[in-house]
Amino acid sequence: MPALESVWLNRQDGRARAGVDAKPVAPGGSAPVQSPGDLGFAGLIGRHASMRSIFQLIQRVAATSTTVLVTGESGTGKELVAQAIHALSPRRAQRLIPVHCGAIPEDLLESEMFGHEKGAFTDAVSARVGRFRLADGGTIFLDEVGDMSPKLQVKLLRVLEDGRFETVGGVTTQSVNVRVIAATNRNLEEAVAAGRFREDLYYRLRVVPIEMPPLRERAEDVPLLVDGFLTHLHGAKGLPRFRITEDALAVLQAHSWPGNVRELRNLLEHLVVLGSDDGLIRREDLPPELSRERKPDALAGWVSPPWDFDGQGIDFNRAMASIEDRLIARALDLSGGNKKEAARLLNLNRTTLIEKLRRKRDAKPSLAAGAVAAPAFAVGGEIDPQNGGRLHTAV
C-alpha cells in the first residue's frame, strides 16, 4: 500500500530518527498523546508555518467526529492527514478504511462503498459487505472524492446527513456510525460552478477544510524530508545509508517539485538504489533537469523600483505592497487572467492568490501623491480600455 506510506519521527539519543508506518491503525490500538515538535507531528514532517498550522488543526479536529475535507496537489500528503486524524481520535480502536474513488471504475464504486446483494448484477454471485459497513465505528477515507459520479454524490450526501444507506440490490436500510474524511486534488468550487459536483455535498464535506501546501512553498522542509526518507530507505528497506552534499541539497530545495513529497521520495530511492559505493549523493548525481540552471523567470526583471531614497526615506510597507500588486498583475497578464496559471507563475497556492486578490479588492487603497500607482483589482477579469488595456484582476 504505497499510498499509505508515511514518515514518522521520534527522539532517541537526542537525534531524530525516521521510519515508515505503512499500516492502518489496528483495532484495539492506542495512540500516545502528541504535540507538534520542531521536526514534525503525527506522521507528518515539517517546521514551515503552514505545516505547524495544520498540526494544530489536526489536534483540534481529531477529538471530534466532524467531517474533514483535505485538499491539495497530488503527492502533498493528504492521506497522511487522514491517518493522523484517525490515529489521534477516539475512534482509533476501530478501523480506518480507505476508498480511492478515482481508481475504482464508476460502475463498481457504488458496490465497493455500500456493498451489494447476491444477484444484484451479473457478476454478483454472492453478497458483499461495503466499505462503509467495514468502517462502522471508525473512519472512512474517501480519496479523490471529486471524481465521484452525480448518482453516488446523492447517496454519499444521505450517509453524511443521517448515516443511512441501502446496498446495491438491497431493500433494507442500514445505519452506520462513521467519521468521513474526504480528499481531492481538484478544485471543487469550480466543479460546483460547472455543475459537476453537488453544492450541498461540497458544503457538507467542507465542515473543516485542511489545505496541504505544495512542497515548493515550504522549501525549508526539504532537508528534513530528505533526512527522513534516507533514514527510512536504510532502516526499513535495507538499502545502504546515504548522505547528501550541501550543494545537492540546495538544488533539491530550489526545485519546484510538481509531484511534491511523493516525487522527492521516489527520486531519493532512485538515487540510493543506483548510488555510488561511498554512500554520498552529489550534485552531479541528480537528474539533469534538476541540476541545470533554472530558465529565466517570466516575472524576473519586470519589477524595478520606481523610487529613490531621499532625505525623507520611503514608506516600506507601501513599497512592498506596490511590488506585490505589480507581480500579481503581471502574472495575470501572462496567464490571460487564469488564476491557477498565475498562481503557478508566482509559486503560490491558487487559494492564497485568490485571498490576496480579495483583500486588495476590499481594501481599495487611496493613492497618495507621488505613490506608485497600483494595478486595479476588480471582479470580472476583463480588459479595461480606460486603464490602458490593463487586465482587471478577478477574484
DSSP β-ladder status, 7-12 and 15-20: antiparallel
pLDDT tens-digit series, residues 182-232: 999 999 999 999 999 999 999 999 999 999 999 999 999 999 999 989 988
Q: What is the pLDDT of residue 148?
A: 93
pTM, two decimals, is 0.66
What average pLDDT does the chain have? 78
With a cut of 80, say whether residue 144 has pLDDT above it: yes
Q: Work out the burial of residue 140: count CB atoms within 10 Å of its CB; fewer than 13 is exposed, 13-18 middle, 19 or more buried.
A: buried
CATH code that applies to domain 216-291: 1.10.8.60
Cell of 368: 497618495
Beta-carbon neighbour count of residue 248 at 10 Å? 21
Instruction: Provide the pLDDT for residue 371.
Output: 35
What percentage of the chain reaches a pLDDT higher than 70?
A: 76
The length of the chain is 395
Considering the domain 316-391 in this protein, what is its CATH number?
A: 1.10.10
pLDDT at 312: 66
43 φ/ψ sector (left φ>0, alpha ψ -120 to 50, else beta): left
- Residue 299: the pLDDT is 53
Examine the pLDDT at 33 and tell me if it is beyond 70. Answer: no
Looking at residue 96, its pLDDT comes to 96
User: Hey, what's the cell of 176?
Assistant: 452506520
Name the nearest CA neighbour of 393 among 370, 362, 361: 361
- pLDDT tens per residue, range 73-120: 999 999 999 999 999 999 999 999 999 998 898 878 988 999 888 877
32-36, 180-184, 283-287, 371-375: least confidently modelled range: 371-375
Mean pLDDT across 353-378: 57
Which tens digit of pLDDT belongs to each residue from 9-32?
332 332 232 323 333 333 444 444
What is the spatial distance between Cα 241 and Cα 225, in angstroms, rounded to a whole number?
Answer: 15
- Within 123-269, strands assigned E span 139-143, 164-165, 174-175, 179-184, 208-211, 243-244
Local structure of 260: helix, strand or coil: helix
Mean pLDDT of all residues in 390-394: 40
> What pLDDT, on the 0 to 100 scale, is given for residue 308?
56
Fold classified for 2-213 = Rossmann fold (3.40.50)
- Residue 243, CA distances (Å) to 65, 105, 239, 254, 341 in order: 42, 42, 12, 18, 36
- CATH 1.10.8.60 residue ranges of the chain are 216-291
Give residue for cell 546515504: 242
- The ranges of the chain annotated as CATH 3.40.50.300 are 2-213
> CATH 1.10.10 occupies which residues in the chain?
316-391
Kindly state the average pLDDT of the residues 371-389. Answer: 39
